[in-house]
Amino acid sequence: MKMEFLNDAQAEATPATDADLSAYLAAHSDSFREAPRVAFEQVYLDAQKRGAAAQADAAALLGSLKENASLVAEAGDPTLLPPSMPLTDRQGIAQLFGDDFAATVVALPPGDWQGPLPSSFGLHLVKVTGQEAGRLPALAEIRPQVEREWLNDRREAIARQKLDELLKRYKVTVEPFTPPGGASQ
C-alpha cells in the first residue's frame, strides 16, 4: 500500500499538459468516441393480441401512416414503450426495445415510416426523425475524462517500472502450492 501511495504521488506530481492529453486522446480515440445516435417515432402493434393478422394489420397501418402522418396519435396498440425517442445511441435503444430492433433502427434512413420491425414486445412501425453520426469529441469537451484515464495509465506505468526495478535486484522463486494434508498440485 505504501508503494501505491508513493507511486500515486509521483504520478500526480507533474500535471498533464494539453499536449500530453491531446496525444493520449489521439492514441486512445476508440475509448472516447461517441456512438452514432438516432431519434425516431414508433407505433406499436401487439402481435399476440392481433395473432395471424398482425403482419397484414402492420402493412395496412404503414400505408395509412405514409399517406397521412397525423394518424400516428391514434394508431397502434397501447404500450408503455415511448412513442418517440430523442437522439439515443444503439445501446440505449437496445435497453428498451432489444438488440435486434436497435441494430435495425440505427441503420434506417430518416424521413419515412418503415416496418414492421419485430421486437420482443411485438411489431413496430418506425419513422427515423433524426440522426447524428458518431464522433470523437474535442479535448475541451471531455478533458476531465481524458485526464483521469491518462493519470490511471501513468500510475500503472510507474508501478510497472518500480516492480521491474525491484525484480532486477532480487531473485524471486515461486514454490508449488501444497494444500495442508494433501498432495502437491
Q: For residue range 165-184, what is the model confidence (pLDDT) as tens digits?
A: 778 888 878 888 888 876 65
Alpha-carbon torsion, ordered 19, 25, 26, 31, to 10 deg = 170
| Same domain membership, residue 162 and residue 100 | no
Place of cell 404503414: 62
Asked whether residue 128 carries a pLDDT value surpassing 90, the answer given is yes
| Same domain membership, residue 45 and residue 26 | no
| Same domain membership, residue 127 and residue 158 | no
Dump pLDDT digits (tens) for 137-165: 999 999 999 989 988 888 888 788 877 87
Per-residue model confidence (pLDDT) at position 117: 94
| Same domain membership, residue 115 and residue 67 | yes
Per-residue model confidence (pLDDT) at position 162: 77
CA gyration radius, the chain: 28
CA distance 151 to 39: 36
Q: Which residue has the higher pLDDT, 22 or 74?
A: 22
Establish if 60 belongs to a structural domain. yes
Establish if 23 belongs to a structural domain. yes
Dump pLDDT digits (tens) for 59-80: 998 998 888 877 776 778 899 9
CA end-to-end distance (rounded Å), the chain = 31
Q: Provide the β-strand partners of residue 132.
A: 37
CA distance 48 to 121: 9
Asked whether residue 12 carries a pLDDT value surpassing 80, the answer given is no
Average pLDDT, integer, range 86-91 = 94
| Same domain membership, residue 83 and residue 149 | no
HSE (side-chain half, CA atoms, 13 Å) at 178: 6
Asked whether residue 126 carries a pLDDT value surpassing 90, the answer given is yes
| Same domain membership, residue 154 and residue 76 | no
Establish if 173 belongs to a structural domain. no
Domain that holds residue 147: 2-32+138-166
Establish if 174 belongs to a structural domain. no
Q: Tell me the whole-structure pTM to 2 decimals.
A: 0.66
Asked whether residue 185 carries a pLDDT value surpassing 60, the answer given is no
| Same domain membership, residue 82 and residue 48 | yes
Within 10 A of 102 (CB to CB), how many other CB atoms are there?
21
| Same domain membership, residue 47 and residue 22 | no
| Same domain membership, residue 42 and residue 56 | yes
